[in-house]
Structure 1
Amino acid sequence: MMNVTGTNFTTQSPNDDMVKMVNYTTTRIVDKPVVKKVEGMNILGIVVFSIFFGCTLSRMGPAGKPLSAFFECMHIATMKIVTLIIWYSPVGIVFLIAVKLIEMEDMGKVFTQLGYYMLTVLLGLGLHGFIVLPLVYFVGTRKNPFIFCYNMLRALLTAWGTASSSSTLPVTMECLEEKNKIDIRVAKFVTPIGATINMDGTALYEAVASIFIAQYLGISLNFGEVIIISLTSTAAAIGAAGIPSAGLVTMAIVLTAVGLPVDEVTLIIPIDWFLDRFRTAINVLGDAYGAGLVAHLSQEDLAELDRQAVKGIDINDVEINVNGGKFQEKNGGLDNPSFTKM
């Protein structure tokens, strides 16, 4: 735990410095590894520790509930503060963008790079939402994924308009139940969980944004740092709230994990409101495909539960609602029923 806070976090990586080792017979050039200190916290270590800590709390049962309730309350309070900040953020964003515009030497080049960045994000979201997710759904269910996607169109449009997967949740469950005929028990169980932790569109967006910021600053990322960005983006997306522009809040975790300056996130703020709508739609689509896959795999279990429920009904204690009244069969059988007007 010593490398979690402060400047105790150090990394070791080879640089381009070379050491020339000379003796009387040969000359060799070898790499010189340099240990460099990175200012700040070990974000990746905190994320990994938090995951294990949360899993341990969930396994503790009643003993862990007080601390779980504390963190849940802390999360809700933090999200309310973030929501309040987002409402007033346009005023501050105007000045942040103005500073960036003044510092730009070639504004046309920057706008061109932002255009390529937007195209990359949209292309990645499109590949994930309309190739990867449908392929996984087809392999798991052997059903047409595009008909399933078409039936979710109203939920996707709602997600695009609100930029909030939590606000879209009722429409998502309605489309799953009425259009795709998903068991309501599965829809009510899977979609709230998906709206909380299944942020695949946000994870993809944060990874691309971090790599773009590094390239804009002229920082070369090695393979290990790209892997760290991928893992941290996934973990940060799980913790992102289902509110508009929540990905910008968690992106600070990703940037800090690889030593990139957090203040450079202002470069992509002007276009985040637009990209946020597309990644939210992909998040909702991922939740829907997940619910469809779970429903297909749970068919036998759900049918067994239905059979057990039918067997558990006592034939001598049946109530049926009839035209606003209640028809009740008593122990005397059908020869002596009673009808009560409600």
Structure 2
Amino acid sequence: MGKKSTKRCDFRAVLRKNWLLMSTILAVVLGIVTGILAREFAVLSNLDKFYFGFPGEILMRMLKLIILPLIVSSMITGVATLDSDVSGKVGVRAVIYYFSTTIIAVILGIVLVMTIKPGVSQKAEEIDRSGSTPEVTTVDALLDLLRNAFPENLVQASFQQYKSKRLGIEPVNNASIPTSPMVNVVMTTQVNETKSSDYKVIGAYSDGINVLGLIVFCLVFGIVIGQMGEKGKILLDFFDALNEATMKIVQIIMWYMPIGILFLIAAKVMGVDDWEIFRRLGLYMATVLTGLAIHGGIILPMIYFIVVQKNPFIFVGGMAEALLTSVMISSSSATLPVTFRCAEDKNKVDKRITRFVLPVGATINMDGTALYEAVAAIFIAQLNDYPLDAGQIVTISITATAASIGAAGVPQAGMVTMVIVLTAVGLPANDITLIMAVDWLLDRFRTMVNVLGDSFGAGIVEKLSSKELQQMDLTSGIDIVNPFALETAASEKDKNKIKEAYVNGAFDVDKTDSVAVTETSQF
């Protein structure tokens, strides 16, 4: 009887702890089944399908609503609570990790597509085109990346991104100018030798949060607050309270998430009209998905295991809610609230690391996107019987890495940066429409790999920065184990401060006699 009662209690504890994950998985399954049944047995117009997906749209709007306060508060508090030297080291480690894994993803994608050769057995004419080619040029895209990093208006950066637009300029017709016959011949020759048209670049803005610009500003703002000492403490407390309030709102949104995901998935399944395209592009899709599976299931866990010396799949299990959410909503930025919650609550990653590393990762770390762009570029070359030499393959790897870093963490941003990769090696940019019909599905899985890479990055950077974090803990009185031993205290004054904090209840003692500070020490 006692054993049955214990098992029942254990089951209830597991259910209570993982109810959100289980309900999300159930919502995904029900969404797929509902979508298939509706396609087979119900006659729905496009308007009916649109209205059916309305609860899913509400979920997307909720998650996007919380992005701005979450990024601003987390970045500022994360940087401000770190010492300037520590924040610099953490930033360098994060960038090195992100850059390294992106290069590995690109190389993996190139190896797979050159081995499997999904485009050799087909021709570009055999595949139906879908959508239109995004209008983007390599130089303007790179310059826009820098422009968005330094927005001219912080308020505008909260809801718009800068995007250059080219306008054609017709050449001046010099034939109307009266000249002598000899001069007229010379001028006619000069006009014929010049370009028929020229361009001028005008500034334009498109809807969407300028995450990169906000991160750069918050990074600098956080460093300045951290160096202001007592004067900056008021601002730090404000943003810390804002971060805590934002995470409380995220918890409320999580209650609604299974309902929103169910309708989001069902509406998407009902909205797919051409299933034949999946058969024609099956080998290409298999190549991309294989690469994503190897990178996310083998390479990233292996790096985590080597550095952290812990089971990476337990870490992945803790991030399961964020990974499922990323697949459903196909946006690493919109998934950021859930990523924070999983990394901090489930995997216990230090908040000083997550608040700094995760927003940066959601902006510049796009392993899945980089792998996809490398595969897609070579696939299009194979469809066109376009031989690629070693230099062009290197060019693809470089441009795919750079373009993925510049891709915003929003749905199908990879299609825009894909044009840059194709243009760099002389492939027709309009051939991107060949793969656009299946991109909505692949985009979801590469977003999941992007989020997984961000999460592993937070765990790895925390491990690499453990000495600096421990040193900060010792100097601030945070996370002292067995405080009355106090062997590690720097001076008698520090010992007295730690004892005083302990007596005043700044520490909570657990059953193992170790202590953890529940709030930042006041001394």
Place the TM-score, normalised by the shorter chain, in its bin.
Answer: 0.5 to 0.7
Aligned: 1:69 with 2:151: yes
- 1:179-258 residue pairs with structure 2 within 5 A? 179-258=346-425
Q: Check the 8 A contact 1:176/1:288 in 2, yes or no.
A: yes
Q: TM-score, normalised by structure 1?
A: 0.64
- In the TM superposition, residue 251 of structure 1 has moved relative to its aligned partner by 0.7
Distance 1:252 1:119 in 2: 22
Residue identity in the other structure for 2:288: V
Q: Which residue of 2 aligns with 1:265?
A: 432
Aligned: 1:81 with 2:206: yes
Residue identity in the other structure for 1:161: M
State which of 279, 288, 294 in structure 2 corresponds to 1:127.
294
Q: Which residue of 1 aligns with 2:344?
A: 177
Q: Check the 8 A contact 1:44/1:257 in 2, yes or no.
A: no
Q: Which residue of 1 aligns with 2:110?
A: none
Distance 1:124 1:277 in 2: 14
Aligned: 1:308 with 2:475: yes
* 1:285-325 alpha-carbon deviations (Å, 9 max, x no partner): 00000000011111121111111112496959x9889xxxx
Q: Check the 8 A contact 1:214/1:260 in 2, yes or no.
A: yes
- 1:153-172 residue pairs with structure 2 within 5 A? 153-172=320-339
Q: Check the 8 A contact 1:191/1:291 in 2, yes or no.
A: yes
State which of 266, 273, 278 in structure 1 corresponds to 2:445.
278
Residue identity in the other structure for 2:206: I
Q: Which residue of 1 aligns with 2:190?
A: none
Residue identity in the other structure for 1:192: P
- 1:11-26 residue pairs with structure 2 within 5 A? none
Distance 2:207 2:399 in 1: 21
Identity over aligned pairs, percent: 49
- In the TM superposition, residue 111 of structure 1 has moved relative to its aligned partner by 6.0
Question: Which stretches in structure 2 are left out of the alignment for 5+ residues?
Answer: 1-135, 164-203, 210-273, 478-493, 507-523
Structure ranking higher in strand proportion: 1
* 1:58-93 alpha-carbon deviations (Å, 9 max, x no partner): xxxxxxxx9933498687243962669xxxxxxxxx
Distance 2:376 2:287 in 1: 10
Distance 1:180 1:258 in 2: 43
Residue identity in the other structure for 1:178: D
* Aligned positions, number: 246
Q: TM-score, normalised by structure 2?
A: 0.43
Partner SS, residue 76 of structure 1: strand
Q: Which residue of 1 aligns with 2:229?
A: none
Q: Check the 8 A contact 1:44/1:232 in 2, yes or no.
A: no
Partner SS, residue 69 of structure 1: coil
- 1:285-296 residue pairs with structure 2 within 5 A? 285-296=452-463
- In the TM superposition, residue 44 of structure 1 has moved relative to its aligned partner by 7.9
- 1:11-160 residue pairs with structure 2 within 5 A? 43=138, 68-70=150-152, 76-78=161-163, 81=206, 112-160=279-327
Partner SS, residue 166 of structure 1: helix
Distance 1:250 1:293 in 2: 28
The structure with higher relative contact order (CA 8 Å, sep 6+) is 2
Distance 2:278 2:150 in 1: 45
Partner SS, residue 168 of structure 1: helix
* 1:23-50 alpha-carbon deviations (Å, 9 max, x no partner): xxxxxxxxxxxxxxxxxx9948985xx6
Question: Which stretches in structure 1 are left out of the alignment for 5+ residues?
Answer: 1-40, 58-65, 85-100, 102-107, 322-342
Q: Check the 8 A contact 2:289/2:445 in 1, yes or no.
A: yes
Distance 2:450 2:435 in 1: 20
Partner SS, residue 151 of structure 2: helix
Q: Check the 8 A contact 2:296/2:449 in 1, yes or no.
A: yes
Distance 1:117 1:254, change over 3 A: same
Distance 1:268 1:42, change over 3 A: closer
- In the TM superposition, residue 116 of structure 1 has moved relative to its aligned partner by 0.5
Supply the RMSD in Å over aligned alpha carbons: 3.5
